[in-house]
Structure 1
Amino acid sequence: MEPIAEKIRYTVEEYIALVQESDSKYEYVGGQIYGMAGGTPEHSLIATNTTRELGNNLKGKPGRIYNSDLALAISQNQYVYPAASIICGPVQTGEMHKNAATNPVVIIEVFSPSTKGFDKRAKFRLYRPIPSFRQYVQIIPNQILVDVFTKVDDDLWRIASYWKLSQTVRLESVDAEIPMSEIYLGVDLQEDQE
């Protein structure tokens, strides 16, 4: 991910002003503003499949799934747009950015080649201090692989990896499941035979 301009640092006020004046999405991390690029057809299809299936699975339950249009306020100076997030109860927002949620329980990222390293490592580190945050789902769009990190305590996360279309991803923090075959529905990929 590359910053949108050469300026060394932006204030959170400059970021908020940009977001309010633009139809585009921008993330704000460490004083840098990053433009959100469009994804591949596979990325888009996987994100759509995942939000649709989890939305259906969450009917009648307290959790609601939100797509990539909902920003998350990690702190008063960190704002990001995951592929999706699940929030239980009313959406709580930050003081500076009134359209950025502060209380995700599950955060879902669908990696793209340009953001994979940032999403996999840096964003996970940013997300961990969020008090409501319990599970992090990382979906790889160019192979059948989903990793789910589940919070055990403040310093310990358990990982479950799914790599077969016959498996079902379990999100116990919101009492939801999604078959791998539904996540990758319509995506032309080869299943790992190992």
Structure 2
Amino acid sequence: MTVQTPVPMDKATFLGWAERQEENYELVRGRVVMMTGGPRGHSQILFNLATALDTRIDLDTWAVLPEFGVDVGPATIRFPDIVVDPAGGAMTDRTATAPVLIAEVMSPSSERIDLGDKAAEYLRLPSLGTYLVVASDEIKLWVWTRTATGFSSGPVVLGDIAASVEVPALGIALPLAEIYARVQLD
């Protein structure tokens, strides 16, 4: 769920302000939008995904950054659930330098944004190789993967717990069984 406030800000002002807030916010077309927390399933999937990535990537080359800023346009900064960015960035960086993977754990209330606005914004990033949207209420992933000709017009949808998500830019595969481990689905 999101709550939008009528406070217009530029990116630099927003980043300084957001750093001092206890709640999570994004800057969307110059407007501050509060992001609410998710339920237990969201948190477990987020942890599982971060762990699966961290155990597979080359940590000297890549960094797994939960809820880290991504500059996606002239007046928009998003904070996806997971960003994989080149390792070695400055400790004072507030946004990713060249994200190669971005993942959002989706709740039913964020579906339109995660599969619509955010997908459109993220897929324009020249460094991005894979965008994942992971459902938190069922076993279902939407996967956009860049090929030599760019991203396809729509995602590949995975729903089999025995499947894996291939992430060519990182040279890894992420089993859905690990992503959904310890998640109780109805």
**For the superposition of Structure 1 and Structure 2, which TM-score range results when normalised by the shorter chain?**
0.7 to 0.9
Instruction: Give the alignment's TM-score, normalised by structure 2.
Output: 0.87
Verify: 1:168 aligned to 2:164, yes or no.
yes
Q: Distance in 1 between matches of 2:164 and 2:108?
A: 25
Verify: 1:33 aligned to 2:47, yes or no.
no
Distance 1:20 1:184, change over 3 A: closer
CA-CA distance at 1:67 after TM superposition: 1.1
CA-CA distance at 1:178 after TM superposition: 1.5
Letter of the 1:6 counterpart: P
Structure 1 spans left out of the alignment, 5+ residues: none
Q: Residues 131 and 145 of structure 2 are in contact (CA less than 8 Å); yes or no, is this contact kept in structure 1? A: yes
**Percent identical:** 21
Instruction: Give the alignment's TM-score, normalised by structure 1.
Output: 0.84
Q: Residues 11 and 77 of structure 2 are in contact (CA less than 8 Å); yes or no, is this contact kept in structure 1? A: no
CA shift digits 1:69-121 (9 cap, x unpaired): x111223521111110112344389xxx9411131001001002332211111
Q: Distance in 1 between matches of 2:72 and 2:33?
A: 15
CA-CA distance at 1:140 after TM superposition: 0.5
Aligned pairs (5 A) from 1:54-65: 54-59=53-58, 62-65=61-64
* Equivalence for 1:48: 47
Letter of the 1:39 counterpart: G
Q: Distance in 1 between matches of 2:35 and 2:15?
A: 15
CA shift digits 1:12-48 (9 cap, x unpaired): 3442342143233210011111112111100000010
CA-CA distance at 1:147 after TM superposition: 1.6
* Equivalence for 2:79: 81
**Which secondary structure does the structure 1 equivalent of 2:138 belong to?**
coil
Alignment length, in residue pairs?
Answer: 184
* Equivalence for 1:2: 3
Distance 1:189 1:90, change over 3 A: same
Aligned pairs (5 A) from 1:139-158: 139-152=134-147, 153-154=149-150, 156=152
Distance 1:105 1:25, change over 3 A: same
**Which secondary structure does the structure 1 equivalent of 2:146 belong to?**
strand
Q: Distance in 1 between matches of 2:154 and 2:170?
A: 16
RMSD: 2.4
Q: Distance in 1 between matches of 2:133 and 2:97?
A: 20
Structure 2 spans left out of the alignment, 5+ residues: none
Q: Distance in 2 between matches of 1:46 and 1:126?
A: 23
